Structure 1
Amino acid sequence: MLIPFYEISGQEKTNKLKDLVQYVDPMIGTAKMGHTYPGATVPFGSVQLSPETDTIPYATNGKYNKDVYKYCAGYQYEDKTIVGFSHTHFSGTGHSDLGDFLIMPTIGKLQLNPGTASHPETGYRSVFSHKTEKAEPAYYSVLLEDHNIKAELTATTRVGMHQYTFPKSDQAHIILDLTAGIYNYDKKNVWTFVRVENDTLITGYRQTNGWARTRTVYFAMSFSKPIKGYGQATPEKNVYKGFWGRFDQTKNFPEMAGANLKLYFDFDTNENEKIKIKFAISPVSTQGALANMKAEISDWDFERVKKESQEIWNKELNKIQVQTIQKEDMVNFYTAMYHAFLGPTVYMDTDGKYKGLDGNVHQATTFQNYTSFSLWDTYRALHPLFNLVQPKRNSDMINSMLAHYDQSVHKMLPIWSHYGNENWCMIGYHSVSVIADAIVKGNTGFDVDKALLATVNTAKVPYYDGLEYYMKKGYVPEDKNGSSVSKTLEYAYDDWAIAQAAKKLGKEEIYNEFSKRATNYKNVYDAKTGFMRPKLDDGTFKKEFDPLDTHGQGFIEGNSWNYSLYVPQDPAEMIKMMNGKDAFTRRLDSLFSMHLPDKYFENTEDITKEGIIGNYVHGNEPSHHVVYLYNWTNSPWKAQDKIRMILKRMYKNGPDGLGGNDDFGQMSAWYIFSSLGFYPVAPGSEDYSLGSPLVANAIFNLENGKTFEVATVNQSDKNVFVSKVLLNGKLLTSPTIKHSDIVNGGKITFYMSSKPNKKIYL
């Protein structure tokens, strides 16, 4: 008899919150290329209070520093020193910004430069050990060994709370470095301003020009103990000193301004005395930051804030209650849930005000405004996951996208946006996928007619990334616009998604127009080679072509092998186009078994060996649906053991437990869906494709009050194949369930076996 490690019985399945925080390990993904951070935050929180282990300049003397890619989240597990604790971070991204308002406590001689990793004693940074480090949802602590100071962090939505336990000293300092940041571009800081309101309250802002072209974050910083003195580093030339230079701002002057401020605040401390800081941020004003602080943390009870924030996490994690055979799988599952709920992040003050794409202050009255949309990644599984377990938030996210659209001079939905900026990162216009998926699945807490119009207009902006050619020719020519095949394929999928939304809303003309555009993937398929291939403006295929190469071949973050399988909107037609089911099965088999020579990994940060199985690239998103394509062949059973292999190989406990960037929760959402036994191959459809569940049992506690149960019979690490599936007691004859099957409540039962049922679903 198999005894699950974690059991849920009777009424406890739905009526009692389980202690699931214990299974979350925020350290997972902090090593290698996971790009996650270990610090304190709440679900979808504006503040992500986390340690920085280094700050690498984006470029030195105009030359790009390759090591900067390691620090997208500011933290690398292999590092031995901590520079400080900043308040804003992206989770798992392949690019970065943020790292605002770095704070570091020190004692002894005042040093206002960070020093170096090899010689931390030359600055304010400190050596630390993982032995004294602790990371939990909404809590992080570590001993700063050079200063013998215990640092503890917790957070609410808009406020970070610090607690530093000092030794006895008459030279205790808290440093606020406004020059520090993640991805330090040359002259990234445009301007910084700090105002000492009184002996416990500091306000100010930081304006930057980095990945986001213009970004201003305001703050209010409150100390639990009055400061005895304060000042700043020796001002550089551009520090404002007042008319005729009458004021010396270096010490105890209440207003400080300049492009690069580094401040210090002095204290006397007794042995084991705790100095606490409340640090609130705002996209609008220092007044807004102060109001956020008063609304979210009204006292100095650190333990209360930690407890209440962890209770918020526990409530969110209990939206899916699972049992697994191994504890390791519980940790992986709930850490994936944790990572999936880190973003997008709330972007507005407690009164609903936020700074929009147009630079003006706007008021969100009927929705909660969100930012940080990494849509090229998250449209695939994260937003479909939200449609199941976070439908209200997902509707608010779409309302946020529509606000972005209203404020856009281009009249476009977001591509990759954060903090009132459009970064134009990656390809496609995948906001339309998120919107269409919500419309088709009936999660419509937004103006659906306006949303459909926004998707149509976004898909018709001619000067956006090759769209002029795509609309005129039915493909993007490689000699006119790079990454042309990837763009053509992704535009075609997005167009299909628009068509599905139009069909749902009864807009026949739009449905017909975009259904036709959705077939444009055929225009870049070369039947002679059997691959998607870059086509030139004159209609011929590019002569130089290597389907395994990722560079200069018409693709982005993948090769032709990967992207030739990217037709999620119509796998049956794609398979027919590629010589039928048997030939396509052999193609998939080869994808997972082939060997890629080392030359294909040279000079690339996009694909790492850790994220690859054969030529299946799990560390990059274009392949995430691929294993489920076996369900459209005569061998759907071949998907099952491979899904379980990916789950075990790409997701592990430990800092290096992610096989690639988590990409703001997309990697984690893949794990959640696949562990539960189904996956949204084509968002914009109500269908989920079945696989092989890893969990022993799962209960969805849905927002509509209903529950959906995933049950398994004979589950084990060896029984990776599915012999049959019952939905509400009825045998399934196709590898598909619908969104409505889940949200209406019910039960799906997978019967597991060590041997494949080669006739399943046939």
Structure 2
Amino acid sequence: MKKICVLLLVFVIILIKSGAAQENFLQYVNPLIGTKKMGHTFPGATVPFGAVQLSPDTDTLPYEMGGKYNPDVYKYCAGYQYDDPTIVGFSHTHFSGTGHSDLGDFLIMPTTGRLQLNPGTADKPETGYRSRFRHASERAEPDYYSVLLDDDHILAELTTTTRVGVHQYTFPKSEDAHIILDLMHGIYNYKDKNVWTFVRVENDTLVTGYRQTNGWARTRTVYFAMTFSKPVTSYGFASFKSYPYKGFWRRFDQSDNFPEMAGEQLRAHFDFKTGDQEKILIKFALSPVSTKNALENLQTETPGNDFEAIKKQGQQKWNKELAKIKIEALNKEDMTSFYTAMYHAFLSPTVYMDQNGEYKGLDQNVHKAEGFTNYTTFSLWDTYRALHPFFNLIQPKRNNDMIRSMLAHQQQSVHKMLPVWSHYANENWCMSGYHSVAVIADAIVKGNVSFDANQALNACIQTANVRYYDGLGTYIRRGYVPEDERPNSVSTTLEYAFDDWSIAQAARRLNRMDVYDTFMKRSQNWKNVYDPSTGFMRPRLSNGSFRKDFDVLSTNGQGFIEGNSWNYSLFVPQDPKGMIALMGGEKKFLPHLDSLFTMHLPDHFFEETEDITRDGIIGNYVHGNEPSHHVAYLYNFTAQPWKTQERIRMILKMQYKPSVDGLGGNDDCGQMSAWYIFSTLGFYPFAPGSEEYQLGSPAIKKAVLQLENGKTFTIDVQNQSDKNVYVSKVLLNGQPVKGTTIRHSDILKGGVLQFVMAARHR
């Protein structure tokens, strides 16, 4: 009897553990959040950090109209806008939440009836292959998207593996069913973005090819292999750009079922006869190297044709990642906001290598990632602030691989520079600073290192001394970037100074004190653009004088990028106490900081800043622009830390909602989401490169962090409510926390961080 009881107890324990493992976090994720207005997210299917991000495109407007920049094109950075009534098709690559765009490769669209090889227009979709759709028939989940294409009565379903997009289309009975493959399509259509495309029909179920583009990424080639679950009955191509006589090619009749075609502007069609409710499965694999590798990716990752099995596998991957933080919230809406933020945070960077480890490098040669996964899509001006620190905490192994990818980039660079904003074997040089050094420093300082730390520090030093990069030589010589030599000079100076500080922190951790001294001195260069006569950061000229024409609220040509002087005058995360002292001490600083959240902006601010809506602004605090992300935590460095708690809870409520327009700005490859996650948990990486987190006001009742070292860190919040936003007491493992910080190393040890909340501040 005793043995039976023991066996029953073991069985119950196994069931309990199994039940915990099976908890469904997917139910709280809504990929449609952020697809309306400014979020620039996409609703389609992808696995965590997947190379294929397969999603519907509702439109892609031309970059220019009538020879002038088309401002409406900005809406389509992710290819999808919730308010649009039609879908053009489903393409395989997307950015999530960016303020710039590219990609949108290899658009597929199923149709029936008369063959049409142009997309038509949104107001007259019947003139092309696009289709009307309704959100009532649309469904979006992690690694699954479906929608009914009303015009042709076709159910479209999408799922993915890391490198393969899987389409399942349920057709009505038709003698004329078609699959359109559009190689002209692309997001952010620059004039002549397509350089060359090639399609080859290998047999009646296999098609291969590639696409070369010159868009935001100047030299980009993507290869593909596509298979059909059913043999095609016929196929054809259409070139939308004529070419002169091609000599011996005229010996072939290329008008019907000719097995290959090349050109800049190509579309292809593959034809079928379908029975009522017949499903056609398409598997579409990508490779940065070759069609051979694309086919190997396809065969390795999707050996079968079971759509539901592939979907289940992808969703299990998502559930595993989402389970790394288990929260209890006040309501289901907060659960949705939190887990959707985690979902968005795990969309990029993206895997950039084939199953065999090969990828095309920055030097346009084929390389092999040995012992690590190679990644791309590094929006570092955004993501160094909170996303990579979040990875250091929750995804440390992946963050190590991302850093090794950055180091490989640096070795392949003719400038020997770490990435600034890179994707698909290209450096876009977008935004200011060289913030990969902050990502590397943050990992070194926090002890998350599986790479050669001294080699990585050397790469940081090399990057910080490329004198011909964006005014860096003048910055090193003068201590600031002059506005009459470089635009955005103040932003650039401030961001260089922060990056220098982060290098110094890594050097101190590695006991390289000569490097530490050099870069700590450089990190004080922020003082050189502070004008004490105005109390603001101000553009300085090469003769040493401050620029005369100056508007602290203007964003137009004033020396700042994605912000104004009022915002950037608070951007000194490496030395907040020094900044407060220089600005006249707390007595002057606190009213200045308060006014940021309460002031009224003039109309010209909105007229100058096309990528900002009034919905995303609190006073002059623009949450959608990353230089402000640390600002609410500045009160912690004053005698009024309770205002940090108050502001954080206000921002969480105002800038994040579980709705399609629920993001108060571009998600920027997960940075906005990472800010939400940290701030909801109650702490934030104020200065990446430091081991310290600043405490805020948690917005959950409880959270359990499953750390990669096997330990758990629990956040327990007492007296939580929408009114109780102030922290009356903080305990770490039962001991009072003095001050406003906790350390990364304390979290890694595991334990319990307890907040006691109150309706009034202390």
What TM-score does the superposition give when structure 1 sets the normalisation length? 0.97
Contact 1:382 1:665 in 2 (8 A): yes
Matched, 1:41 2:46: yes
**Residue of structure 2 aligned with 1:176, choices 178, 181, 190:** 181
- 1:250 CA drift (Å): 2.8
Aligned residue for 1:373?
378
Q: CA deviation digits over 1:451-508, x for unaligned, max 9?
A: 0000001000011111011001000000011100000000000000000000000101
Q: Deviations over 1:619-638 (max 9, x none)?
A: 11000000000000010011
Alignment match, 2:221? 216
Q: Distance in 1 between matches of 2:609 and 2:634?
A: 28
**Residue identity matched to 2:531:** D
Deviation at 1:61, TM superposition (A): 3.8
User: What is residue 9 of structure 2 aligned with on the other side?
Assistant: none
- Give the secondary-structure state (helix, strand or coil) at the position aligned to 2:363: coil
Paired AA for residue 547 in structure 2 = K
How far off is 1:16 after superposition? 3.1
- 1:274 alignment partner in structure 2: 279
Match of 2:196 in 1: 191
Say which SS state the counterpart of residue 198 (structure 1) adopts. Answer: coil
Match of 2:233 among 228, 233, 243: 228
**1:453 is aligned to 2:451:** no
Which residue, 47, 60, 65 being the options, matches 1:60? 65
User: Is 1:441 matched up with 2:446?
Assistant: yes
Unmatched tracts of structure 2, length 5 or more: 1-14
Q: How far apart are 1:555 and its partner, in Å? A: 0.3
Give 3-state SS (helix, strand or coil) of 2:27's partner: helix
Matched, 1:538 2:543: yes
Aligned position for 1:3: none
Alignment match of 1:128 (pick from 107, 116, 133): 133
Instruction: Provide the residue aligned with 1:92 in structure 2.
Output: 97
Q: Structure 1, residues 75-130: CA drift from partner, whole Å, max 9, x if none?
A: 00000000000000000000010000000000000000000000000000000000
Q: By how many angstroms is 1:62 displaced?
A: 2.7
CA contact (8 A) 1:141 1:150 kept: yes
Amino acid at match of 1:489: L
1:675 maps to a residue whose letter is T
Q: What residue in structure 1 maps to residue 721 of structure 2?
A: 716
SS of the residue corresponding to residue 417 of structure 2 reads coil
Structure 1 residue 251 displacement after superposition = 1.7
* Greater shift in the superposed pair: 16-25 or 388-397: 16-25
Question: Residues 13 and 321 of structure 1 are in contact (CA less than 8 Å); yes or no, is this contact kept in structure 2?
Answer: no
The separation in 2 between residues aligned to 1:110 and 1:32, in whole angstroms, is 34
Residue 143 (structure 1) aligned with residue 148 (structure 2): yes
Tell me the SS of whatever aligns to 2:83.
Answer: coil
Q: Cα distance, 1:608 vs. partner? A: 2.3
Distance 2:305 2:245 in 1: 35
On the 8 A contact 1:240/1:256 being kept in 2, the answer is: no
Q: Secondary structure at the match of 1:190?
A: strand
Output one character per residue of 1:588-625: Cα deviation in whole Å (capped at 9) or x when no partner: 11111111122211042233212110011101100000
> Hey, what does 2:733 align to over in structure 1?
728
Q: What residue in structure 2 maps to residue 700 of structure 1?
A: 705
Equivalent in 742, 749, 756 of residue 751 of structure 1:
756
Decide which of 663, 669, 680 is 1:664's aligned counterpart: 669
Partner Cα separation in structure 2 for residue 615 and residue 11 of structure 1: 50
Would you say 1:496 and 2:486 are equivalent positions?
no
Distance, in Å, in 1 between the alignment partners of 2:720 and 2:692 is 25
- Structure 1 residue 577 and structure 2 residue 582: aligned? yes
* Corresponding residue of 2:298: 293
Instruction: Tell me if 1:202 matches 2:184.
Output: no
**Could you say which residue in structure 2 is the equivalent of 1:5?**
none
Q: Match of 1:319, as an amino acid?
A: K
Instruction: State how far apart, in whole Å, the 1-side matches of 2:169 and 2:64 are.
Output: 34
SS at match of 1:105: strand
> 1:76 is matched with which residue: 76, 81, 86?
81
Provide Cα deviations, 1:695-721, integer angstroms capped at 9, x if missing partner. 110000000000000000000111111
Instruction: Select the residue among 325, 336, 352 that pairs with 2:341.
Output: 336
Query: How far off its partner does 1:11 sit?
Result: 7.5
Amino acid at match of 1:398: I
**1 CA distance for matches of 2:750 and 2:249?**
73
The one-letter code sitting in structure 2 at the alignment partner of 1:745 is G
Shift in alpha-carbon separation, 1:337–1:239, aligned structure 2, 3 A: farther
Please report how far the alpha carbon of residue 262 of structure 1 lies from its aligned counterpart in structure 2 after TM superposition.
0.3
What does residue 264 of structure 1 align with? 269
**Counterpart in the other structure of 1:358:** 363
1:357 maps to a residue whose letter is L
Partner residue in 2 for 1:50: 55
SS of residue paired to 1:424 = coil
Distance 2:659 2:671 in 1: 19
Provide Cα deviations, 1:17-44, integer angstroms capped at 9, x if missing partner. Answer: 5210110000000000100000000000
The alignment partner of 1:518 has SS state of helix
Equivalent residue runs for 1:386-425 within 5 Å:
386-425=391-430
Mapping 1:321-332, distance limit 5 Å: 321-332=326-337
- Which blocks of at least 5 consecutive residues in structure 1 are unaligned? 1-9, 758-762
Q: Secondary structure at the match of 1:421?
A: coil
Match of 1:590 among 595, 599, 604: 595
**Superposition deviation, residue 13 in structure 1:** 12
Q: Quote how far apart the aligned CAs of 1:14 are.
A: 11
2:4 maps to what in 1?
A: none
Does residue 348 of the first structure (1) align with residue 353 of the second (2)?
A: yes
The aligned residue for residue 484 of structure 2 is 479
Cα offset for 1:245? Answer: 2.2
Residue in 2 that maps onto 1:167: 172
Deviation string, structure 1 residues 498-552 (Cα, Å, up to 9, x no partner) = 0000000010110000000000000000111000000000000000111111111
Partner residue of 2:554?
A: 549
Distance 2:84 2:742 in 1: 46
1:117 corresponds to: 122
SS at match of 1:675: helix
Q: Find the aligned partners of 1:629 and 1:14 in 2 and give their Cα distance.
A: 43
Aligned-partner SS, 2:646: helix
Contact 2:55 2:92 in 1 (8 A): yes
Shift of 1:748: 0.5
Determine the structure 2 residue equivalent to 1:525.
Answer: 530
> Measured at CA, do residues 169 and 241 of structure 1 come closer, stay the same or move farther in structure 2, by a change above 3 Å?
farther
Shift of the 682–92 alpha-carbon distance from structure 1 to 2, 3 Å rule, reads same
Output the amino acid matched with 1:42.
Answer: V
SS in 1 for 2:717: strand
Per the alignment, residue 260 of structure 2 pairs with 255
- State the AA in 2 paired with 1:222: T
**CA offsets per residue over residues 188-216 of structure 1, 9 Å max, x none?**
11000000000000000000000000100
In 1, distance between residues paired with 2:569 and 2:584? Answer: 13
Gap change, CA 1:234 and 1:471, over 3 Å in 2: closer
Q: Which amino acid in 1 is paired with 2:690?
A: S
Answer with 52-61 or 300-309: which moved more.
52-61
* Map of 1:760 onto structure 2: none
For 2:753 and 2:518, how far apart are their aligned partners in 1? 37
Alpha-carbon distance between aligned partners in 1 of 2:203 and 2:573, rounded to the nearest angstrom: 59
2:324 corresponds, among 312, 319, 324, to 319
SS at match of 1:709: strand
TM-score, normalisation: structure 2 = 0.97
Give how far 1:63 is off.
1.4
Q: SS of 1:590's equivalent?
A: helix
Q: CA deviation at 1:342?
A: 0.1
In structure 1, give the amino acid aligned to 2:527: K
User: Which SS does the other structure have where 2:271 is aligned?
Assistant: strand
Shift of the alpha carbon at 1:583? 1.8
Q: What is the identity, as a one-letter code, of the residue corresponding to 1:487?
A: T
Letter matched to residue 614 of structure 2: K
Q: Is the 8 A contact 1:17 1:315 kept in 2?
A: no
Output the CA distance in 2 between the equivalents of 1:684 and 1:690.
17
